């Protein structure tokens, strides 16, 4: 017998994992979105120490294997972990392999671990729709760290950076020269760079190339770490490096406050007279469907006399 949203939500609040799975399925299908958003707004704020950590890199670099190792590392440190493993859909069949979980360890008896595979439609910058909403659910369920594994993102595929507090980019020895990396744009969005499979020949050269590209005058410092999942090298250092990064959530909140102050100062009459125009913008921004810049652009483009968006 199918349950109502209210029944599923009540079970979710009691930490029922089946209710969590049902809610995530609804989100993936685009169902019950408004109800879930409204229910989440009634819950306490997510603690600042809870992180969204994204892992990206080209195919074969070992993302799933490393994420599996980091699950164990965080659990050993007493942190609960949820994983959203994103696989691209085929542009021809619409199917997705969803094979990430095959490379991750199984934790059937550990309530502190949850792994969910997601199909990512093509053209969505390597992340599925409503990813932010799924992350909020997992944090509110009680998971401290949410790890996102996504396919390699290039210069035009930086949406995951807008949704993660820390973005870890993986490269591997002898995977290409520095010109290829610059062209791909992978390093431009990184908060941390991991030279994975660092036990293989060429790791020293790869590390030196990456550092040479990142350590440019005027650029923010980006740590480069050597990690080997097969040899269990550098995993503690990676966890510590991740937790040492400033949370991008704080930056997003500051941007949001700036946006709201700007709107209140310049569009007081509009906010009262035409709430139907600016509330959808706010809802899209809160759900992650548009980023800070796009929300600000749309708000600034509102016609103060009519409330409509001008070009």
The per-residue pLDDT for range 136-192, each reduced to its tens digit, is 999 999 999 999 998 755 444 456 777 788 999 999 997 655 545 554 566 777 889
Instruction: Please give the residue that has the higher pLDDT: either 129 or 13.
Output: 13
Return the pLDDT at 231. Answer: 95
pLDDT band at 212 (very low <50, low <70, confident <90, very high): confident
**CA pair distance 168, 152, nearest whole angstrom:** 11
Unique residue bearing structure tokens 């799924």: 134
**pTM for this structure?**
0.76
pLDDT band at 44 (very low <50, low <70, confident <90, very high): confident
Average pLDDT over residues 216-233: 87
CB 69 within 8 A of CB 232: yes
Return the pLDDT at 237. Answer: 97
Average pLDDT over residues 66-79: 96
Average pLDDT over residues 26-45: 91
Does the structure show a pLDDT above 60 at 311? no
Please state, rounded to an integer, the average pLDDT across all residues of the chain: 78
Give the chain's domains with CATH numbers: 1-43 (no CATH), 47-246 (3.40.50.300), 249-300 (no CATH)
Average pLDDT over residues 273-292: 70
Return the pLDDT at 93. Answer: 40
Burial 82-110, CB ≥16 within 10 A → b, else e: bbbbbbbbeeeeeebeeebbebbeeeeee
Instruction: Please give the residue that has the higher pLDDT: either 288 or 88.
Output: 88
Q: What percentage of the chain has pLDDT greater than the value 70? A: 68
**CA pair distance 146, 165, nearest whole angstrom:** 10
Does the structure show a pLDDT above 60 at 50? yes
**CA pair distance 3, 158, nearest whole angstrom:** 37
Tens digits of per-residue pLDDT, 79-121? 999 999 987 654 444 444 444 555 566 677 899 999 998 877 6
Tens digits of per-residue pLDDT, 180-199? 555 456 677 788 999 999 99
Return the pLDDT at 297. Answer: 75
The helix-helix angle for 248-266 and 292-300 (nearest 10°) equals 0
**CA pair distance 48, 191, nearest whole angstrom:** 18
Among 90, 86, 84, CA closest to 114: 84
In sequence order, the 6+-apart residues with CB closer than 8 A to the CB of 177 are 209
Does the structure show a pLDDT above 90 at 236? yes
Instruction: Please give the residue that has the higher pLDDT: either 226 or 86.
Output: 226
């Amino acid at each position: 017998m199918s349950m109502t949203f209210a029944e599923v939500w009540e079970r979710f609040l009691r930490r029922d994992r089946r209710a969590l799975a049902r809610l995530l399925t609804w989100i993936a299908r685009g169902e019950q979105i408004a109800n879930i958003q409204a229910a989440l707004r009634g819950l306490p704020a997510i603690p600042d120490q809870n992180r969204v950590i994204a892992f990206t890199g080209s195919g074969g670099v070992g993302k799933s294997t490393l994420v599996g190792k980091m699950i164990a590392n965080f659990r050993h440190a007493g942190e609960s972990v949820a994983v959203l493993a994103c696989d691209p859909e085929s542009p021809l069949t619409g199917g997705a392999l969803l094979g990430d979980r095959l490379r991750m360890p199984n934790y059937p008896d550990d309530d502190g671990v949850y792994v969910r595979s997601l199909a990512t439609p093509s053209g969505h910058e390597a992340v599925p729709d409503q990813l932010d909403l799924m992350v909020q659910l997992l944090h509110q369920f009680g998971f401290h760290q949410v790890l996102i594994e996504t396919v390699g993102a290039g210069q035009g595929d930086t949406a995951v950076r807008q949704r993660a507090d820390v973005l870890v980019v993986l490269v591997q020895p002898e995977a290409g020269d520095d010109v290829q990396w610059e062209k791909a744009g992978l390093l431009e969005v990184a908060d941390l760079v991991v030279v994975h499979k660092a036990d293989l020949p060429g790791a020293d050269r790869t590390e030196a190339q990456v550092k040479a590209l990142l350590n440019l005058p005027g650029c923010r410092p980006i740590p480069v770490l050597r990690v080997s999942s097969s040899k269990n090298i550098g995993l503690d250092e990676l966890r510590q490096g991740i937790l040492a990064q400033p949370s991008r959530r704080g930056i997003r909140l500051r941007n949001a406050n700036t946006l709201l102050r700007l709107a209140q100062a310049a569009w007081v009459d509009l906010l009262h007279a035409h709430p139907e125009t600016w509330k959808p913008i706010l809802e899209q921004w809160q759900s992650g469907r548009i980023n800070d810049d796009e929300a600000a652009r749309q708000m600034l483009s509102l016609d103060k006399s009519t409330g409509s968006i001008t070009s």
